[in-house]
Amino acid sequence: MRKSAIVKIFAWSAFLIISSAAWAAGDPVAGEKKTTMCIGCHGIDGYRTAYPKVYNVPKLGGQHNEYLINALQAYKTGARNHPSMKAIAATLSVQDIEDLSVYYATSSSK
């Protein structure tokens, strides 16, 4: 086997190990119990569909885990600015963020 092929295999293996470790950090069951703060805005699909210009919030279900973690951390630190999201994210621990993000990343209809 060529050296470059071995390096590529090693790199992909390391990437998969790191990705699975990051993915496993959250608990989707615990995340589901914490969704009450999210449902108020993100959980009203019928309203969002009927009035997209009035009520424009993203659907959380099926989003990438890393995206959700980064977004919540950005609201928590103030790097992203939305009054409601900043207030909610300020109350979340690192574990809360991981639990919520893995829950929504593994559910497509929430």
What does the pLDDT read at residue 58?
83
d(CA 22, CA 6): 24
The residue range of the domain holding 64 is 26-105
Kindly state the average pLDDT of the residues 42-52. Answer: 60
Residue 13 lies in a domain: no
- The count of structural domains within the chain is 1
Residue 5 lies in a domain: no
State the pTM of this model.
0.69
- CATH of residue 73: 1.10.760.10
d(CA 87, CA 28): 23
Residue 85 lies in a domain: yes
Does residue 25 contact residue 102 with C-beta atoms inside 8 Å?
Answer: yes
Q: DSSP readout, 49-76? A: HH-TTTS-----TT--HHHHHHHHHHHH
Contacts of 103 (CB under 8 A, 6+ apart): 26, 28, 29, 30, 31, 32, 34, 35, 110
Q: What's the length of the chain? A: 110
Residue 110 lies in a domain: no
Number of C-beta neighbours around residue 20 at 10 A = 9
Which residue, 97, 47, 62, 55, is CA-closest to 77? 97
Residue 34 lies in a domain: yes
Residue 8 lies in a domain: no
Q: How confident is the model at residue 14 (pLDDT cuts 50, 70, 90)?
A: low
Reported as a single tens digit per residue, the pLDDT across 64-83 is: 999 999 999 999 999 999 99
What does the pLDDT read at residue 18?
55
